[in-house]
Amino acid sequence: MPERTLARTRSDLSDFLLHHRAKLTPADVGLPTTRGRRTPGLRREEVALLAGVGLTWYTWFEQGRDIQVSEAFLINVSKALRLDDAECCHLFLLAHRRPPPPEAYQSASVSAHIQQLLNDLTRPAYVLNLRWDVIAWNATADGLFDLMGREHAYRNLMWMMFADPDMRRRLPDWQKDARRLVAQFRCDLAGTPEDPAMGALIDDLKKLSPDFRRWIEHPDMAGYSRGIGTIIDQRGDQFRFHHEVLTVDEHRHLWMVVYFGDESGTNT
């Protein structure tokens, strides 16, 4: 890369870090506020403390010096500066590094407005990430899927379908629903083929379920879905649903699945 381009990139990196450091206050990140602060926003030592990196190394990085930093360093700095997904990607590019998957630096959560939207819905609805973890839901969905009662690691729609015997007993059309879910899941897999978390989930499900192992390798192309069609609730009432899928965050691969009662079914 020409020296002039490198110098401009280092200047852009410095400006970017200074800008985001100035936007935050100690109170924003849970640090005590002291009187007589002359520095707007956070100090360098506070960013280094929050990121768990050395002050000298962070200072050199912010100054745009010719140093090599790791992916972990960049992710920690991104979290310390409260960067969103697009800003974190930009930081990686300024540092001449390939951006990681969003899941590496974004917590599995939705904004307060998205959660409020879920809460305002009377029909079942949840938000899935690319791994199909259910990361947000409303009370009606909780009533169907017992999401609050599940351990965090098992709050995953594919795990619920193939590794939860109680859930399977409440799905009269389990095979049809499961095949459609796997077909969609396999399509989503193309978006993150080397994600270790996704790979670990697939390996575990292959060991637990011959059906999953067969369908993930040879999916049924007749139908795709991110929702379950027929469910028997805890009281024994059967409900039939169709679904609409809304994109919550395209870059982070978050989708909201909303369940609508099928008027031809037996749901109330």
What the block records as the tokens of 30 is 């849970």
Neighbours of 79 (CB within 10 A): 17
Please state, in angstroms and as integers, the Cα–Cα distance from residue 157 to each residue in 28, 126, 131, 177, 229, following that order: 34, 10, 9, 12, 13
Radius of gyration of the chain (CA): 23
Q: What is the DSSP string of 224-261?
A: --SS-SEEE-TTS-EEEEEEEEEEEETTTTEEEEEEEE
Helix (H) or strand (E) holding 136: strand 134-137
Nearest partner of 117 among 262, 12, 268, 254, judged by Cα:
254
Per-residue pLDDT 10s for the chain (268 aa) are 454 454 557 889 999 999 999 999 888 877 777 776 776 789 999 999 988 889 999 999 999 888 889 888 998 898 889 887 778 888 999 998 887 765 555 556 788 899 999 999 999 999 998 889 999 999 999 999 999 999 888 899 999 999 999 999 999 999 999 999 999 999 888 766 566 778 888 999 999 999 999 999 988 777 899 999 999 988 889 999 999 999 998 777 889 999 999 765 444 3
20, 2, 192: which is closest to 90 by C-alpha?
20
| CA distance linking residue 106 with residue 78, whole number of Å | 10
> According to the model, what pLDDT value does residue 1 have?
47
The pLDDT value given to residue 267: 46
Provide the pLDDT for residue 101. Answer: 63
* Distance between CA atoms of residues 196 and 126, nearest Å: 24
> pLDDT digit string (tens) for 31-71?
777 776 776 789 999 999 988 889 999 999 999 888 889 88
